[in-house]
Amino acid sequence: MPYLNADLVRRVVRQALEEDGAFQDVTTLTTVPAEQQGRGVFLAKEGGVLAGLPLVSAAFEILDRSIEVRASLVDGAFLEPGMTIAHVEGPLAPILSAERIALNFLQRLSGVATATRRLTEAVDGLPVRIVDTRKTTPGLRVLERYAVQVGGGQNHRFNLADGVLIKDNHIAAGRARGLTLGQVIAAARAGAPHTMRIEVEVTSFEEAGEAVEARADVILLDNMTAAEMKRCVGMIAGRALTEASGGITAANARAIAESGVDIISSGALTHSAPALDISLDLDTEAG
């Protein structure tokens, strides 16, 4: 399983609880006695891939350490409707106050993991990597990228300081100064640390040719058809890694992978993944 830093989890979950007013939950504080106990069960309402259990545990622990969370599954497990994910038991008031935040994280991250799994399954058996992009929810990038890994995908550069990716607007800025694509790539290579790869986004066969001649390390084929990508891959002939991006879906991913690209990146894994339907069914008569 991918690593998820426990201190980061607690920091993000605490911020979410504070945002939700969970420490001053007026409704629960005025209607549920502190001594009342309860228990509940997290249930899958649809099939998918589970991700986010560490955040569920943190949500309840931060509000009340006496709450016990017992997981029946682990992140990465395949869910079917009706499956039990975890049990929670303890003082009812903090369980109610943390419920929404625990579910929000679990549903969101499981949705990302499920979307990733569907894309990886679409290219099963082919030598291509499925990766995410920087199109993540602000403040939740680490968590969403963790979910991508849980779903069987890999991560692109983490942030703008993590790697060179010359995109269309960088190229346009260079052309406005009279620079060719090759000169823009040369400038990036001269200014970036020697340990960094130089990746460049291209939208045509001609630009791909310029990029490979300028010794780009990775060439991103943006919004091309599978046939156009195959032509570019043949011309590049292993002189650079190739990445496909733009409009990637489970329906077209295999055809794109068969073009011979090394990497398929999809922003939809994080920006458009629907939340997985998961519920917390409470037994308020417990204890």
User: Beta strands 198-202 and 164-166: pairing type?
Assistant: parallel
User: Could you say which of 11, 65, 70, 167 is catalytic?
Assistant: 167
Catalytic annotation on 100? yes
Please, are residues 215 and 242 in contact by the beta-carbon 8 Å criterion?
no
User: Could you say which of 99, 222, 243, 254 is catalytic?
Assistant: 222
Tokens of 74: 């682990």
Catalytic annotation on 7? no
User: Could you say which of 135, 141, 231, 239 is catalytic?
Assistant: 135
Closest CA to 277 of 136, 36, 104: 104
User: Could you say which of 100, 129, 157, 197 is catalytic?
Assistant: 100
Please, are residues 132 and 265 in contact by the beta-carbon 8 Å criterion?
yes
Catalytic annotation on 132? no
Please, are residues 244 and 254 in contact by the beta-carbon 8 Å criterion?
no
Give DSSP secondary structure letters for 262-284: SEEE-THHHHSPPPP-EEEEEET
Q: What is the DSSP letter of 164?
A: E
Catalytic annotation on 167? yes
Catalytic annotation on 45? no
User: Beta strands 278-283 and 37-44: pairing type?
Assistant: antiparallel
Residues with active-site annotation: 100, 135, 167, 201, 222
